[in-house]
Chain A
Amino acid sequence: MTLDLTPEETTAIWLTLRVALVAVAASLPVAILVAWVLARCRFPGIVLFDAIVHLPLTLPPVVTGFLLLLVFGRRAPVGAFLAEHFGLVFSFRWTGAALAAAVMGFPLFVRAIRLSIEAVDRRLEDAASTLGAPRALVALTVTLPLILPGILAGGVLAFARAMGEFGATVTFVSNIPGETQTIASAIYTYTQVPGGDGPALRLTLISVVLSLGALVLSELLARRTRRAIGQTRP
């Protein structure tokens, strides 16, 4: 077995990285916001909200993909709105793959950030207020730096999840080489044809290396961040 990649495989790898990165970057602000609400706000129905956020974790990916189709499809309410007003089309595009990957990784992302927000010593935030910082600046200058390791950890989890996403993606935006065919979809395709085991293994190896690389990188970053914000690992 050699690692001479076909152009199709190279495309799938780059596409996967792009999809995963965009998925993480685009869901980052939303994830922080939702995590904040879950960690800090109390309102009737929060349990339901929490459950909805975690839905992609519990639903079969294919169902999530189908729900995405119902909401973000080109004739679906949100999908049509976004296409008309922002020119954002998901249907059979890599953007749709990124959306599916973002949605599937979202609960993991939110969970990690939420835990770190709950771990923040709120007395530090009180201290910042007494020093004259308005609420938004407290969040920006105290809370945010303190939850950075959680954001990082959640981002890597979401990235890893995005890299491996298959079920929702293929249901939502199909499996089109060069457009929506990620490593996971390519592996699937190869395992479905006689003689596809070699390329499938090759891509599997690459995705293992990429995932491990991301995890190691994040661990190193997390250590550095923890040192930088003065937290020592217990």
Chain B
Amino acid sequence: MRSLRTLLAAGVVALAGLATPLAAPQAQAADPIVVFAAVSLKGALDGAVALYEADGGAPVTVSYAGSSALAKQIESGAPADVFISADLDWMTYLAEKNLVRADTERRLLGNRIVLIAPNDGAKPVAIGPDFALTAALGDERLVLCDLAVPCGKYGKAALETLGVWGSVEGRIAFAENVRAALAFVSRGEAPYGIVYATDAAADPGVAVVGTFPEDSHPPIVYPVAVTADSKNPAAAAFVDFLATPKAGAVFEKAGFTMLGERPTTN
């Protein structure tokens, strides 16, 4: 909704600009910052954008989709100013092609993956090495995000680390994205699923029955960077704003952890 309103506002501004060419200097300064963001950021990022705009920042338009889709769109010339990925791989993918500005790249947020069950009195599951996931599933399936999306990769890594991947591999139902995974579990299609802590927190239909140890999978990092093709001078300022405590409060409320660190170039 929020981004729709921003888009409409941008449209109105553009129309006004067309209608009153004399007012051009101010109108051009308000070009919206186009942000391509991983879909798991929806909600929290909308809140941060609202704060940014309320503080007098440039208007922001956010396009949410899977990180891989967004990275490929940027690769083929989509007019994004800022890219926020749900994992480091797709940021690296663009960085290696010099499609993002290295000096603006930073590790913005952290997240956790959790085991969820339908919210109807599910019992907690003790997650540890060789835990009894297969037994808990019975003859039903474990919902995991597609291995192409970061959430799926982290889930698989955690299960491998804990030594249960081999036994549940054949019992997995892959969901196209995190939202679809949540739907499968909240609708009772599957007894368990693995999603981000933030998504589990946002869906009242599911309950968190266990959290995977942080060291069972690569750190879940949401990196952000300004794209190489961005012509919007306000893009860097927006990225900086996202790392401020003010924006951080919004993200932390949604279940993220603030990292705010700048990466070492490697």
Query: Which residues of A line the B interface, CB within 8 A?
Result: 62, 66, 69-70, 73-76, 91-92, 170-171, 173-176, 188-189, 192-193
Provide the residues of chain B in CB contact with A173, threshold 8 Å.
Answer: 173
Question: Which of B143, B146, B172, B176 gathers most chain A CB within 10 Å?
Answer: B176
A92 to B174, CA, bound (A): 10
A176/B189 in contact, CB under 8 A: no
- Mark B18-36 against chain A: 1 for CB-CB distance below 8 A, else 0: 0000000000000000000
Q: Are A74 and B188 in contact (CB under 8 A)?
A: yes
* A171 contact set on B, CB distance < 8 A: 176, 180, 183
Question: A103: shortest Cβ distance to chain B, in Å?
Answer: 17
Q: Is the CB of B190 within 8 A of A92?
A: yes
Is A73 within 8 A of B173, CB to CB? no
**Residues of B contacting A70 in the complex (Cβ-Cβ under 8 angstroms):** 187
Of residues A74, A75, A91, A174, which shows the largest number of chain B Cβ atoms within 10 Å of its Cβ? Answer: A174
Q: Given A171-B180, A192-B68, A176–B173 Cβ distance below 8 Å?
A: yes
CB pair A174–B184 under 8 Å, yes or no, is yes
A70 to B173, CA, bound (A): 18
Distance in angstroms from B183 CB to nearest chain A CB is 6
Chain A residue with Cβ nearest B189: A91
Q: Which residue in chain B gives the minimum CB-CB distance to A174?
A: B173
**Chain A neighbourhood of B180, CB < 8 A:** 62, 170-171
CB distance from A79 to the nearest CB of B (A): 9
Q: A174-B143, A175-B146, A176-B172 are in contact. Are A92 and B189 (CB under 8 A)?
A: yes
Number of A-B contacts (CB under 8 A): 56
Given A73-B188, A92-B189, decide whether A66 and B146 contact each other with a Cβ distance below 8 A. no
Chain A residues contacting B112 (CB-CB under 8 Å) are none
**Residues of chain B contacted by A176 (CB below 8 angstroms):** 141, 172-174
Q: Which residue of A lies closest to B69 (CB)?
A: A192
A69 touches B173 (CB 8 A): no
- Shortest C-beta distance, A223 to chain B (Å), equals 40
Say whether A193 contacts B189, CB under 8 Å. Answer: no
Inside 8 A of A75's CB, which chain B residues have their CB?
Answer: 187-189
Check B175–A189 contact: CB distance below 8 A.
no
Cα–Cα distance between A170 and B184 once the two chains are bound (Å): 11
Q: Are A92 and B188 in contact (CB under 8 A)?
A: no
Query: Which B residues are in CB contact (< 8 Å) with A193?
Result: 147-148
* Min CB gap A231→B, angstroms: 45
3 cross-chain pairs, A with B, having the tightest CB-CB distances, nearest first: A192-B148, A75-B188, A174-B173
Interface residues of B in 75-128 (CB under 8 A from A): none
Shortest CB-to-CB span from B86 to chain A, Å, is 13
Give which listed residue, B147, B174, B187, contacts A174 with CB less than 8 A: B174
26 A-B contacts (beta carbon < 8 Å): A69-B184, A69-B187, A73-B187, A74-B189, A75-B188, A76-B187, A92-B173, A92-B190, A170-B176, A170-B180, A171-B180, A171-B183, A173-B173, A174-B143, A174-B174, A174-B184, A175-B173, A175-B176, A176-B173, A189-B147, A189-B174, A192-B68, A192-B146, A192-B148, A192-B149, A193-B148
In the complex, how many angstroms separate the beta carbon of B96 from the nearest chain A beta carbon?
A: 12
The residue in chain B whose Cβ has the minimal distance to the Cβ of A75 is B188
Nearest neighbor of B149 in chain A, beta-carbon distance = A192
User: In the assembled complex, which residues on chain A have CB atoms less than 8 Å from the CB atom of B148?
Assistant: 189, 192-193
Shortest Cβ distance from residue B222 to the other chain A in the assembled complex, whole angstroms: 19
Extra inter-chain contacts (8) besides given A69-B184, A189-B146, A192-B148, CB under 8 Å: A69-B189, A75-B189, A170-B176, A170-B180, A174-B173, A175-B146, A189-B147, A192-B149
CA of A117 to CA of B93, assembled, Å: 55
B167 to chain A, nearest CB (A): 17
User: For residue B189, which residues in chain A have a CB less than 8 angstroms away from its CB?
Assistant: 69, 73-75, 91-92
Q: Which residues of B contact A188 (CB under 8 A)?
A: 176
A175 CA / B147 CA spacing, docked (Å): 11
Which of chain B's residues have a CB closer than 8 A to the CB of A62? 176, 180
Given A175-B176, A176-B172: A92 touches B187 (CB 8 Å cut-off): no
A94 to chain B, nearest CB (A): 13
Residue of B nearest to A65 (CB): B180
B141 and A92 contact, CB distance less than 8 A: yes
Are the C-beta atoms of B188 and A174 separated by less than 8 Å? no
- Kindly name the residue among B146, B148, B189 whose own CB sees the greatest number of chain A CB atoms within 10 A: B189
Question: Min CB distance, A98 to chain B, in Å?
Answer: 17
Docked complex: B138-158 residues within 8 A CB-CB of A: 141, 143, 146-149
Given contacts A73-B187, A74-B189, contact A174 B149 (CB under 8 A): no
- Given the interface pairs A69-B183, A189-B146, A193-B148, the reply to whether A175 lies near B188 with Cβ below 8 Å is no
A91: B residues at CB distance < 8 A = 189
